[in-house]
Structure 1
């Protein structure tokens, strides 16, 4: 009988793209992929270590796998597996832990699926992670996550990602375009570009710091790939989001007017302590530039609360800065101490209760910002791509500028694009709409 494998992914879009590529490597090895809630012979958990919460969830997911099949082989890989392999290996039920250089070779380690008393570790020094493995996520989604870059050369004082993923390195332009064409050939309508620091795209493998291509060149060439209806930039550092890219997106037929730009703090003093590579004036300039050429653009913002030494005045500076900025929503992260970072050694840690209070305030601001952005879109004509899931009798979709809509479930709408008029915001905060045309595309 063919063996069954199941995957669980924690964390970012980049992790999802890598899980999908690793899953495809099992197809030629005699495995059938099943849902993580089903009984499987192997459970693979792709870990994240951006927040303390992601670390804690790992044990819960291992228990879920053991419940599905107590005799199953459990493998852990990803960022947490690179940072703390021995810690993961000690979790009851874990049989194999693979670090950054080994995770794409998972099938090489599966000759013996017998359970181990303790997890077997295959990790590396992170400076060995200097090669690039391309990946993209497809499957039950109407969009694909296309990895174009990995690693990071920045030295932000709170961040473990360089320790977990290594130096900045990129896929070749040729291979990115090939992967994009493969995705389009499968009938997927939207591609989301992912990476650790995608604005740094172009650095080669093995520590080669010379940029073979720029991020703008990548954007320009992807816009020419036939069969792609939407291209979305997932997240890009404000100092790497250049005017040429913004202006190109404004006139592109494929790239959508949606940007996610990490800020982290609205206080210049805190930004300096974080070792971010910009100050608030540059951030304002980026937002204004986008809104000048694309008034309907959606702009999301990452922000961290409770960074060591953050005073009440500095937090309010951040709150007021974001309140006055023409943005659409926030992703709020409560600072958590991470081993082997400079921030963990800093003085004056913010009490957990204060961190929680500040986080709650910014989440409230995010809801207000999102509502105001949605209200600004009422009555406009937008193109919606419908998702593939029946959620309590409704089908959901997103406009090009990331407004979420809903309609009574209709399977004929799945993975189709329609021009609609946004008519009414429902009690759940989602838009109802009227169809303006038949399918823009099937």
Structure 2
């Protein structure tokens, strides 16, 4: 009879959370657990939580119920950002046995002894100042790409954000360890690595609050570009004030880094950026976009923007809308502002009614569709390289070009995790791009 215990994981939130779930899962495997899907019966369910959106907070209870339905006797543990910020709220949810904060989550197997359910859940959380050490991690999301964590925490004090409270000070992995992890990923025949962190442009700050940069983000990019076996490297998200001209130039001339940048803006109004305590103004943002397009005219640029921040008038919003409309960017990630406990913004005057926030959000999402369409149209007639993904979606296989144009072709399992040169020909009704095959892509050497 098989006595091995089964463990299942559910991840809410960002790519960084996914990479950390993978590390925690490997710890369980090392301890002799078998990993199963979250929908299956398991002995322990681990939920990695997020606190960035209101929705993520609410979904937690639903996910706990899902675990209990699969196995009412299972041990349920919560880790992650929400677990650090509001452990008492999580432990009060019916069925939750263990809540671990920022420093404890990577030691979860130490806390799980007999897996017996208690009448009351346990909380092990720290003062966030204690989260001053770094744990490296990476996630293999599917066979085609991996998320590699290079940095954690944030020293910025944006007025709307709880991440410094949930993850602590900015600290980084050593360059040696990042390169070791990248080589491990490459050895698994994974073609693309996405660099993740809370504030990756701040890469290089050591452990224990050492503010001296051992290495810079630029040095990291140069070193990773030389790792054998990686076809593509993608920078997930980087603050505009930390994206230097030298880094843009290196990416433009790189072997493996792709021409795709995701740069948070948050507002196109300098007055609102000031209230948010962002470390740049919109003029610097224009400089970044202009520089990228100068050296990589075909680059894809994604933008984060928050609508409905306290004090945002109709005039401020129109300033943001017009700013983005005129900017040579490719798509938007639109976030509707939601109040967070223990943030300065939660007590600010000029609260924007929820229905107005919703209307502004809808307008910007419409602008994003228009921007993406215009970017895709600009790429028709060009030759690009596509990495095909592993899922059969209604008879089609999807993939992304190096500059993040989403393409589709009739399902063919032989295309999974392969790179091909293609000519982009037309945009389908669903917004994806059709193409003509040119050749199978030859690996970088």
Q: What is the TM-score when the length of structure 1 is the normalising length?
A: 0.99
C-alpha distance 139-257 of structure 1, shift in aligned 2 (>3 A): closer
Secondary structure at the aligned position of 2:391 is classed as coil
The residue number in structure 2 matching 1:218 is: 220
Secondary structure at the aligned position of 1:212 is classed as coil
The residue number in structure 1 matching 2:415 is: 413
CA contact (8 A) 1:88 1:94 kept: yes
Matches within 5 A, 1:19-58: 19-58=21-60
C-alpha distance 139-316 of structure 1, shift in aligned 2 (>3 A): closer
Higher deviation after alignment, 405-414 or 312-321: 405-414
Provide, for residues 403-427 of structure 1, a one-character-per-residue CA deviation record: whole Å limited to 9, x for no partner: 1111111111111101111111111
Distance in 1 (alpha carbons) for counterparts of 2:120 and 2:421: 55
Q: Give 1:127 deviation, angstroms.
A: 0.1
The residue number in structure 2 matching 1:370 is: 372
The residue number in structure 1 matching 2:281 is: 279
Distance in 2 (alpha carbons) for counterparts of 1:28 and 1:133: 17
Q: Does 1:80 align with 2:44?
A: no
Distance in 2 (alpha carbons) for counterparts of 1:310 and 1:177: 43
Q: Give 1:141 deviation, angstroms.
A: 3.7
> What's the RMSD between the two structures over aligned residues?
0.9
Q: Give 1:222 deviation, angstroms.
A: 0.5
Q: Give 1:53 deviation, angstroms.
A: 1.0
Q: Give 1:275 deviation, angstroms.
A: 0.2
Q: Give 1:34 deviation, angstroms.
A: 0.9
In structure 2, which of residues 344, 347, 351 is the aligned counterpart of residue 345 of structure 1? 347
CA contact (8 A) 1:189 1:415 kept: yes
**Where does structure 1 lack aligned partners over 5 or more consecutive residues?**
none
The residue number in structure 1 matching 2:170 is: 168
Secondary structure at the aligned position of 2:421 is classed as strand
In structure 2, which of residues 223, 236, 240 is the aligned counterpart of residue 238 of structure 1? 240
Distance in 2 (alpha carbons) for counterparts of 1:37 and 1:392: 22
Distance in 1 (alpha carbons) for counterparts of 2:128 and 2:218: 29
Distance in 2 (alpha carbons) for counterparts of 1:265 and 1:368: 19
Q: What is the TM-score when the length of structure 2 is the normalising length?
A: 0.98
CA contact (8 A) 2:419 2:440 kept: no
Matches within 5 A, 1:223-372: 223-372=225-374
In structure 1, which of residues 163, 181, 184 is the aligned counterpart of residue 183 of structure 2? 181
C-alpha distance 290-207 of structure 1, shift in aligned 2 (>3 A): same
Q: Give 1:349 deviation, angstroms.
A: 0.5
In structure 1, which of residues 393, 399, 402 is the aligned counterpart of residue 401 of structure 2? 399
Distance in 2 (alpha carbons) for counterparts of 1:139 and 1:50: 21
CA contact (8 A) 2:141 2:147 kept: no
Secondary structure at the aligned position of 1:318 is classed as helix
CA contact (8 A) 1:416 1:441 kept: no
CA contact (8 A) 2:373 2:431 kept: yes
